[in-house]
Amino acid sequence: MCGIVAYVGHQDAYPILIEGLKRLEYRGYDSAGVALLNAQDELNVYKAKGKVSDLEASVVGKDISGHIGIAHTRWATHGEPNQTNAHPHLSNSGNMALIHNGIIENYMSLRKELEKRGFTFKSDTDTEVLINLIEDVQQSEHVDLFEAVRIALNHVVGAYAIAIVEKGHPDEIIAARKGSPMVIGIGQNEYFIASDATPIVGRTQKVVYIEDEQVVRIKLGEELFIRTIHDVEAIPYVQELEMNLDSIEKAGFEHFMMKEIYEQPRIVRDTMRGRLHPDTNSVSLGGIVNYEKQLLYADNIVFVACGTSWHASLVGSYLIEFLAKIRVKVEYASEFRYRHPVITPHDVVIAVSQSGETADTLAAIKLAKEYGAVVLGICNVIGSSISRATDAGIYTHAGPEIGVASTKAFTSQVTVMFMLALRLAELKGTLTPEYRAELIQELDSIPEKIQWTLDHSAHVKDIAAKYKDVRNMLYMGRLQNYPVALEGALKLKEISYIHAEGYPAAEMKHGPIALIDKDMPVVFIATNRNTYEKVLSNIQEVKSRNGKIIAVVSEKDVTARGMADHVIEIPDCISIFSPLLATIPLQIFAYHIAVMRGCNVDQPRNLAKSVTVE
Ligand code: M6R
């Protein structure tokens, strides 16, 4: 959580920092701030509660000059979201300013120690402790800022991506990271530092991803100088940035979420490109080709993930067990890391993450490695921490997902799950060639079917209008559509703040049915052919208790549509593929309800795009 951006170069820093913050706002948006070192060597710090636009409003008429600066958009961890707790934080002398993404876990003990040494604190944050720790080291050890940062970080327990500017050094920023992401863009006589590449896109193509426990001196006219906090030199590895400006703009849509929903036909095609071969009815997954044997003979494949990525993993578990007959477990990364799981070198752990930065998933990877398991990743962000921490992996190629609510990330992850299951089935010989061919041809047709679903979704807005004021909602599905029910409910609750729960439909009579009355709408995903009759019975049970029914049905459906109050059609498909289609109208439904309720669709309250803290 939190986004950091910094600049040093020949241009005015302020507009670059503000634009960078806006691109990073998805990471946190409860307060924002900027520090600029001007030509008179004055360090001007401006902070505001709220969004980057509030910060902009607050600096009108103030000195925003300077060719070097740091900026931050915050998702509060320590201390309430107010102006005082916003970053940047100044050291006691006022000579240096720091921005920080992460958590310093031992900040209380460090703060007490610093207080004994005469330091005082204005905020409740761990970040203000860190900048004063650095200042204390600098003063007592008589070292330069780079060295002070390196030494200080040896006393810190926790996660950080930090950037510091210091008076008297108008051409230099010191940065460091551990656990939180950081990328440096190298321009012509200028440097950009950010939490991810989005603030850098369009400015330079040359980037360096900073590794854990590295400290960097970014000085104009010099190459990047990197040492680990343990004082070992590291050589920067300069890479080409694989992202363009179009991919991070709204392209005429009112919100990123809707833009990303409509990108799904293309994204699913991109995810399959060069991997699904409908001409030979085969699948190739280059990223994991060296680990296919381990997957095939694994005692268990264990997915670790959080939120939407966990839902996609659950779809994956149904697919791999059904098609490839390999045992699969699906774990919340946050539980896995603490529950002492039984994992052996004969298991393959697969971490699934859009951002590639989720702290719990990273911790689960670390634990799985300690147990000796092969660890693979299914990740969207190229060069992210998870993609680097895993032995090998499959990129989803969904492009930057800016809306906090995941949409295209889910469908691209599920697409990877299909390809993985089909590849393993191919290797294991669990499917007849005819059936495998049928499945591969169907997967190949899914982008067109998603497009059809989008083209026929206008009435979803009318249905949303009818339910925008409800207080609760249930989502029911069976088999591969049970995770879709969970995902539909998550979309609704996270962006509209309506309480919603997903269930396997048959579980209804084991408790949730008690909730059904005229005020309880229930969304049924009634597309699976082999459980269709059973879902019809569940619909009947809700109907007879006066519950309202919204049914997602296949185009050719006859019976469910006659029972439901509202019907949403998806194209006919082989049942196991319906998650890739049924999820689309549920995203659109949640979107319209949230817009009608006046909610901030792209940046829902209390949330952040990548959860880089526990
Ligand atoms: O980046 P990750 O996929 O690891 O993020 C995990 C969850 O925080 C994420 O899927 C979250 O649940 C969704 N953004 C909600 O829509």
Secondary structure element (H or E) that encloses residue 266, with its range: helix 264-272
Q: Please give the number of the atom of ligand 1 that sits closest to the Cα of 609.
A: 14
C-alpha 486 – ligand 1 centre gap (Å): 13
Contact 226, 216 (CB under 8 A): yes
Contacts of 521 (CB under 8 A, 6+ apart): 467, 470, 473, 474, 547, 548, 549, 550
In the numeric block, the tokens 């951002």 are attached to: 355
For the chain, the residue count is 614
In this prediction, residue 384 carries a pLDDT of 84
C-alpha 331 – ligand 1 centre gap (Å): 14
C-alpha 487 – ligand 1 centre gap (Å): 11
Q: How far is CA 190 from CA 12, 34, 172, 207, 218, in A?
A: 11, 18, 11, 12, 9
In one letter, which amino acid is 483? P
In the numeric block, the tokens 């194209």 are attached to: 571
Asked whether the bond before 181 is cis by omega within 30 degrees of 0, the reply is no
181 DSSP β-pair partners? none
Q: How do 3-8 and 191-194 pair as beta strands?
A: antiparallel
Which residues does a 6 A CB cutoff place in the pocket of ligand 1? 306-309, 353-355, 358, 361, 404-406, 490, 494, 610-611
104-109 own/partner pairs: CB under 8 Å, 24+ apart: 104/129, 104/130, 104/156, 104/157, 104/158, 104/160, 105/157, 105/158, 106/155, 106/156, 106/157, 106/158, 107/78, 107/158
Give SS3 for 506: helix
CA–CA separation, 225 vs 220, rounded Å? 11
In this prediction, residue 1 carries a pLDDT of 64
All domains of the chain in start order, with CATH: 3-247 (3.60.20.10), 251-455 (3.40.50.10490), 457-604 (3.40.50.10490)
Pocket test for ligand 1, best of 308, 395, 401 (most atoms within 8 A of CB): 308
Contacts of 56 (CB under 8 A, 6+ apart): 18
Cα torsion 257, 261, 266, 271: sign:
positive
C-alpha 581 – ligand 1 centre gap (Å): 20
Catalytic residues: 2, 609
CA–CA separation, 459 vs 465, rounded Å? 10
Q: Please give the number of the atom of ligand 1 that sits closest to the Cα of 491.
A: 16
Q: Roughly how many angstroms between the first and final C-alpha of the chain, as a whole number?
A: 10
Shortest CA distance to 88 belongs to which of 35, 126, 44? 35
CA 5 distance to own-chain centroid: 18
Q: In the structure encoding, which two tokens stand for residue 547, read together?
A: 């519950």
In one letter, which amino acid is 494? E
C-alpha 353 – ligand 1 centre gap (Å): 7
CA–CA separation, 215 vs 222, rounded Å? 15
In this prediction, residue 252 carries a pLDDT of 79
Pocket test for ligand 1, best of 353, 412, 413, 414 (most atoms within 8 A of CB): 353
Q: What is the mean pLDDT of each run of 10 residues along the chain (614 residues)?
A: 92 97 82 96 96 94 97 82 91 97 91 97 94 98 98 94 98 94 95 94 94 96 97 94 78 90 94 94 94 96 98 98 97 95 96 94 96 96 88 92 95 98 97 97 97 96 97 95 97 97 92 90 90 88 91 90 93 95 98 97 86 78
Give SS3 for 349: strand
In the numeric block, the tokens 């703009």 are attached to: 249
In this prediction, residue 612 carries a pLDDT of 78
Pocket test for ligand 1, best of 261, 417, 611, 612 (most atoms within 8 A of CB): 611
In this prediction, residue 607 carries a pLDDT of 86
Contacts of 453 (CB under 8 A, 6+ apart): 570, 571, 581, 584, 585
Q: In the structure encoding, which two tokens stand for residue 365, read together?
A: 């990877």
